[in-house]
Amino acid sequence: MQQVTGRLTADATVKMLESGQVVVNFSIADNQDYKPKGATEWVKNPTFFSCAYWGRTAIAKVLRKGTEVLLQGQIKTRIYRTNTDEIGAALNFKVRDIQIIKYAAKAADNAGAGDLQEVQPQGKDKDDLPF
């Protein structure tokens, strides 16, 4: 089992398949920033994962853009051919367990619609998290 930490790049979606199964889909970016030797600026190096969670769909309500999560599950590589006949690859993550590190919520009504702010889990002090 592998672990990945990252931030959601968009709000999660819930999809019902023809078989009747329900899946929560979302994507995360795992940022591994580094500073090259002798450089003064950091280089951003994100890795993107397309995630599928086959558990409780209620979690989709809190899986919003900007939420930081710790995922446990299995990473798979998917190879595909684009419309322009080029070969592409994607990292898929079959999520078995989700832990919220930091929630993201829409900013106050007076802020722009796309603005986000981080909030701690309700009823918990940031130093009193269960993980």
**Of the candidates 101, 84, 126, the residue with the CA atom closest to the CA atom of residue 28:** 101
pLDDT at 128 > cutoff 90: no
pLDDT at 4 > cutoff 50: yes
Higher pLDDT, 111 or 33: 33
pLDDT at 122 > cutoff 70: no
Cα 76 to Cα 8, 54, 98, 123: the distances in Å are 18, 16, 17, 36
Say how many C-beta atoms besides its own lie within 10 A of residue 116's C-beta.
Answer: 16
24-28, 30-34, 70-74, 120-124: segment of lowest average pLDDT: 120-124
Look up the pTM and report it: 0.73
pLDDT at 52 > cutoff 50: yes
Q: Which domains are seen in the chain, by residue range? A: 2-34+42-128 (2.40.50.140)
pLDDT at 119 > cutoff 50: no
51 contact partners, CB below 8 Å, separation of at least 6 = 25, 26, 27, 28, 71, 92, 93, 95
CA distance 23 to 129: 27
- The residue type of 44 is K
Q: Give the pLDDT of residue 106.
A: 62
87, two tokens = 């070969």
pLDDT-based confidence at residue 105 (cuts at 50, 70, 90): low
